[in-house]
């Protein structure tokens, strides 16, 4: 099936592994290059997480393109860093916008029509932020001293900015403090399916924020929405357009 809005899936690696156990053929969808890259990782847990995340990426992309789920292994992804031209950065596939983020055992993948650049990010709440975090990440108007939960707010601002920078492919070549998250007129979205455990900038699944970055025209004005996830994490998606948003489950991706 093809869709006009944004779709995303947030899940735990263990959920993906359980799905693979029930459907062993899923392991064959990864490309030899993906398997090779995962094998270079030192820890077994990282190798498993990499493969699971990229399997979800393929399944979400196949759904976006209206391709049969069993043909997800035929999709060709490319990566080209906007800054250096190297084979890394935002994944790209013909006729779709796609974005991937992983933090520990949590994976977030989003997709959108090819005319609507998208970026997603998910991060776990750290026990403490690195020294100089506020100077590096926060714009002057985003200081957290007045917040009831400044660590949570820091994380929410971080994932929002990371999602925006992934949307354009800039990544951290642009310092996050050059971007400011601003509240906008709330535009409700029809989130079809979401987790019962939520953590969000707005709490409503709405396009409630945008990026102000006057020095970077292609980043300035990007729209932001929170992604409901477990309380230990925060997640966000960014898009050039305010499209309807649909949350997926792994079962949705296996419809043939």
Question: Domain spans of the chain?
Answer: 6-253
- Please give the structure tokens belonging to residue 122: 């998910």
223 touches 213 (CB < 8 A): no
Pairing of strands 223-226, 91-92: unpaired
User: Any alpha helices (H) in the chain, and if so which ranges?
Assistant: 13-22, 32-39, 44-64, 133-137, 150-168, 250-253
Q: Can you tell me the distance from the alpha carbon of 219 to that of 217, in angstroms, rounded to the nearest whole number?
A: 5
User: Any alpha helices (H) in 8-131, and if so which ranges?
Assistant: 13-22, 32-39, 44-64
CA 252 centroid distance within chain: 18
Report domain 6-253's class.
Answer: alpha beta
pTM of the entire predicted model: 0.89
Q: Name which of 246, 202, 239 is nearest 9 in CA terms.
A: 246
Per-residue pLDDT of the chain (256 residues; tens, 9 = 90+): 556 799 999 999 999 999 999 999 999 999 999 999 999 999 999 999 999 999 999 999 999 999 999 999 999 998 877 777 667 778 999 999 999 999 999 999 999 999 999 999 999 998 888 888 999 999 998 876 567 788 888 999 999 999 999 999 998 899 999 999 998 865 555 444 443 333 333 344 568 899 999 999 999 999 999 999 999 999 999 999 999 999 999 999 998 7
Residue owning tokens 């596939």: 93
In degrees and rounded to multiples of 5, residue 184 shows phi and psi of: -125, 175
């Amino acid at each position: 099936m093809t869709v006009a809005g944004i779709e995303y899936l947030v899940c735990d690696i263990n959920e993906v592994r359980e799905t693979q156990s029930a459907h062993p053929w899923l392991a064959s969808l990864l490309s030899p290059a993906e398997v090779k890259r995962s094998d270079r990782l030192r820890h077994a847990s990282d190798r498993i997480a990499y493969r699971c995340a990229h399997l979800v990426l393929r399944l979400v992309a196949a759904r976006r393109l209206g391709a049969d789920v069993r043909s997800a292994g035929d999709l060709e992804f490319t990566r080209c860093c906007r800054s250096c031209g190297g084979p890394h950065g935002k994944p790209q596939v013909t006729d779709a916008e796609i974005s991937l983020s992983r933090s520990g055992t949590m994976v977030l993948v989003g997709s959108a029509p090819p005319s609507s650049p998208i970026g997603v990010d998910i991060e776990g709440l750290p026990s403490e932020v690195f020294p100089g975090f506020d100077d590096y990440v926060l714009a002057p108007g985003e200081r957290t001293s007045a917040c009831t939960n400044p660590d949570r707010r820091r994380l929410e601002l971080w994932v929002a900015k990371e999602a925006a920078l992934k949307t354009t492919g800039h990544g951290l070549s642009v310092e996050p403090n050059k971007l400011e998250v601003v509240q906008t007129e709330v535009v409700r979205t029809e989130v079809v399916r979401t987790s019962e455990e939520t953590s969000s900038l707005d709490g409503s699944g709405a396009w409630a924020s945008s990026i102000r970055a006057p020095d970077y025209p292609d980043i300035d004005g990007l729209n932001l929405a929170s992604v409901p996830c477990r309380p230990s994490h925060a997640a966000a998606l960014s898009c050039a357009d305010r499209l309807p948003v649909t949350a997926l489950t792994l079962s949705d991706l296996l419809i043939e």
